[in-house]
Chain A
Amino acid sequence: MFKKILHPAVILTNRLSYTEKFTVLWLLSFIAIAVVAYSLFVSINQVIRPSEQQLVGLALVESVARVEQLLQQHRGLSSAVLSGDQMMRDRRAAKETDVAGVFGKMEEKLPPALASSEDFRRIKASWEQVRKEGLHWTKDENFTAHTGLVKQIRLFLAIAADEYALSMDAAIGTFYLIDTIVNKLPDALEHFGQIRAYGTGILAKKQITEQQKIKLNSLIVELDSALEELQINLEKTIRDNRGMQESVAAVSRDITGSARYVIGIVKSDILAGRFATTPNDFFNIATAAIDKSYAQMYDSLLPTAEALIKARIARAKNMLWVSIGIASLLFLLVAYFSVGIYYAVTSSIQSLAHSARAFVNGDMDKRVQINTRDELSRVGDIFNEMADGFNALLDKHRKAEVALSDLTAHLQTVREEEKANLAREIHDDLGGTLTALKMEIYRLAREIPESGKSKSLLDRIASMSQLLDSAVNVTRRVITGLRPAILDDLGLLAALEWQAVQFNKRTGIECRVNCIEDKGKLDKQRSIVLFRIFQEALTNILRHSGASRVEAEFHHSDDKVALSIRDNGCGVPANHTIAPTSFGIRGMTERVEQLGGNIKFDSPPGGGFIITVVLPLSKREKT
């Protein structure tokens, strides 16, 4: 089953060279690692991108808060002015300029989409109205318009918070901290601001209605509840960010403390109807308390949130770099080892191929040397075993060849001996008998008187004599064919010369034997070999060469005997081999080699053919 699944991969990889196989492997592992690294990058980026947006959002939150802060002050001052405190008029005018300033700054920070939104245009319009017409309204109208504007801005901020991923933070700690900054603290401070505006107005008039008392009391209750929610939020923030316990606790303490202090004044001075505090003082005290809280927001909470988010970004980036680093390292490791494996495998294969090639080219002692512990090393071992086996086989074959060669030479020798024996026997027995018979017949004929009667008898005797003559001639021819007596009686040179004459007579081809040196008394073995080569050469010349002249050169010196036969015939084409086709020559060659000599066949470019045989005399015969 597993093999079936792997089948296509096996087929595919079998079609590739090792370089290609490893390239595919590298590519696949690179793609795999790249995909993992990319998905990691994407998922980490999903942390970094919103966090960076949050930072931008927090900056916007600050500028919005500043607008709120100054607008709330403007509300308080307007309330005092409309309640009859003319001394506050200048401060209110100055505050109006401040509000315009921070408003402009906020607008600058807004992204185009928000700046051009309907909500923001309405805020702008409301602010323009409050600014221009505020002092023509009643105190309550003015208060309501200011408060409505603040509410509008707070709603706008909530939308912006969504835009900048501030409303839903994944980490609990930052979620509550951001919620504190965006919602809870501004809520509490808005209630605080409303008390300030209300209180300042009452103190400016130095009288309080029942309705105002109820309103003031309800504002105090709302502030208390807002402070409580703020408290809870801050505690949750601390629980998840132990490191900022001190600073957050201080913020909580400050805000609550200053609120209690201002509420105390409201209760003892305003609600009690004493009105000992001047509106200016009350406004200043409340503003100091509120500003302090805003300052806590700007200087402590916002930077803390920013720091937390930045730390988170840094952590994510760090993780990203570490992941990319690990992925790259992993890839380098894969690349390193695959290249290593590639070179290991290819060098083993090259070594195998090199040895096999050397072996094929005839270096039978070549063996594979792969110093690894893998399967290729085993292949090398098997190759070496094969080489050993092949060598053994070759050795056996060579021995058989030598034996065969010895046998061929031996058969050649035996054949010559048998022919010599046969020739001697025929000559001695048959030859002698025929001669004697011829003499007997002669004598018989002499004893018959010549008369008419005996004429026919004599004729028959003459006929017998003729038959005998032809029998003798045949016998002589056979004997000479078997073994020329001249070779044994008169020596090789005489036999060669005689053979040359016979050849010339028989064929008309001019044939000469030149003797350079003749020490005489050459042994029979060498004599017969050289004589037979000469005969074979002449036969071949007659059959194939079309030569008109043959020249042999005989040289019998102290240490060697050489015979070369040269004709002026057509020669032999370069690619034509003589020895295998001619068993006569082949047998002679074997015999020459047995005698330690050598035989050469040469066909010079100008035509003709040369056979050269050299037999050493010093070297003993091999057999």
Chain B
Amino acid sequence: MNLFIVEDSVAVRKNLKSMLSDIPGLILAGYAEDEMNAIECIDTLLPDIVILDLNLKFGHGINVLKEIKERHAAIKVVVLTNHAGEPYISRCKKAGADYFFDKTFQFLQVHSVLKGMSSCMPGSEVQ
């Protein structure tokens, strides 16, 4: 199961990586720090899951979300952001986000969601 992280904070990226490293079959396919790069890489790598931050160095996560869901509706998107207001939740839901978590208070749920997904993925058994 391929994971792609869109996150501009190195520290957060590092922590996510190590936090999710215990999930079997989960492979970090790559990461991006800005909107353009993210869309390009996802287009190329076609990961199964994308962890998406909304606040990026350049551009905005919502645009990335829209692009992904427009072209590759199967890719699961987990929005993980510190912009955790109701307007963001509804926007992201509207744009097709599968999950929406507060980066500071709900990052643990990313772990459980990804773990759940990984056990359902057929390819994971192989690894």
Contacts and interface: CB of A to CB of B under 8 A. Distances in A.
B103 to A, nearest CB: 5
B15 A489 contact: no
B86 interface: yes
Contact of B86 (A436, A442, A498): A498
A436 B108 contact: no
Contacts of A617: none
Given A439-B16, A443-B15, A490-B88, A485 B104 contact: no
Interface in B97-115: 103-105, 107-108
A469 B86 contact: no
Interface in B49-63: 54-55, 60, 62
A494 interface: yes
Interface in A428-459: 428, 431-436, 438-440, 442-443
B72 interface: no
Interface in A442-500: 442-443, 468-469, 472, 476, 485-486, 489-490, 494, 497-498
Nearest to B14: A436
B60 A489 contact: yes
A432 B87 contact: no
Given A427-B55, A427-B82, A489-B62, A439 B88 contact: no
A512 to B, nearest CB: 15
Contact of B87 (A435, A436, A468, A498): A498
B9 to A, nearest CB: 4
Contact of A494 (B12, B18, B87): B87
A570 interface: no
A501 interface: yes
A467 to B, nearest CB: 13
A469 B15 contact: no
B9 A486 contact: no
Contacts of B104: 434-435, 438, 468-469, 472
B19 A428 contact: no
A472 B104 CA distance: 8
Contacts, number: 69
A76 B70 CA distance: 176
B45 to A, nearest CB: 24
B83 A489 contact: yes
Contacts of A490: 87-88, 91
Interface string A551-563: 0000000000000
Contacts of A438: 104, 107
Interface string A32-51: 00000000000000000000
B126 interface: no
B105 A440 contact: no
Contacts of B88: 486, 489-490
A147 B12 CA distance: 174
A428 B55 contact: yes
B16 to A, nearest CB: 7
Contact of A435 (B82, B85, B86): B82
Most buried by A among B86, B87, B103: B87
A468 B83 CA distance: 17
B108 A476 contact: no
A427 B107 CA distance: 17
Interface string B1-33: 000000011011011101100000000000000
A572 to B, nearest CB: 32
Interface string B72-101: 000000000011011110010000000000
A436 B15 contact: yes
A435 B105 CA distance: 8
A438 B60 CA distance: 24
Interface string A202-245: 00000000000000000000000000000000000000000000
Contact of B19 (A432, A435, A442): A442
Contacts of A476: 82
A70 to B, nearest CB: 153
Contacts of B87: 486, 490, 494, 497-498
Most buried by A among B12, B14, B91: B12
Contacts of A427: 55, 82
A486 B8 CA distance: 19
A45 to B, nearest CB: 117
Contacts of A443: 15, 18-19
B34 to A, nearest CB: 13
Contacts of B83: 485-486, 489
A436 B13 CA distance: 8
A476 B83 CA distance: 9
Contacts of A486: 83, 85, 87-88
B108 to A, nearest CB: 7
B11 A432 contact: yes
A551 B16 CA distance: 44
Contacts of A498: 85-87
A432 B82 CA distance: 8
Contacts of B86: 498, 501
A427 B82 CA distance: 8
B15 A485 contact: no
Nearest to A436: B11
Contacts of A439: 12, 15-16, 19, 107
Contact of A442 (B12, B82, B91, B108): B108
Contacts of B82: 427, 431-432, 435, 472, 476
A452 B122 CA distance: 41
Given A440-B15, A494-B87, A497-B87, 15 more contacts: A427-B55, A428-B8, A432-B8, A435-B103, A439-B12, A443-B15, A443-B19, A468-B104, A469-B105, A472-B82, A486-B83, A486-B88, A489-B54, A489-B60, A489-B83
**CB-CB nearest 10 A-B residue pairs:** A436-B11, A439-B15, A432-B9, A435-B104, A472-B104, A436-B12, A498-B87, A494-B87, A435-B103, A431-B82
10 contacts: A435-B107, A436-B15, A438-B104, A439-B19, A440-B15, A443-B15, A443-B18, A469-B105, A489-B83, A501-B86
